[in-house]
Amino acid sequence: MTKKDMMTNKTEQELVKTLADTRALLRTERFSAAGARAKDSNAPKKLRATIARILTEQHVRYASTAVSVSSGSRPTK
């Protein structure tokens, strides 16, 4: 799967698309595992880790823009 350094190189639209695709794949894995024995039993764990990486990168980007915007609009005493 994708590592953290690769997440920082992606645009916001690519992160959103990757997140949606990964969540859909995880959902598919869950339902397929319920019916039969899974080929890769660690696949859901890997997919959840990828989702966490994407969400972390989105949060870092949001927090950095929120800090830069709010630090410029503070009134001085």
Under the banding of pLDDT at 50, 70 and 90, the label for residue 36 is: confident
Q: Where are the domains of the chain?
A: 10-69
Q: What is the spatial distance between Cα 41 and Cα 56, in angstroms, rounded to a whole number?
A: 25
User: Is the pLDDT at 26 greater than 90, yes or no?
Assistant: yes
**Polymer length in residues for the chain:** 77
Per-residue pLDDT band for 20 (boundaries 50, 70, 90) equals very high
Which of the two residues, 37 and 7, has the higher pLDDT score? 7
Q: Residue 53 CB: number of other CB atoms within 10 A?
A: 20
- The reported pLDDT for the residue numbered 4 is 62
| pLDDT tens digits, 37-73 | 767 889 999 999 999 999 999 999 999 888 777 666 5
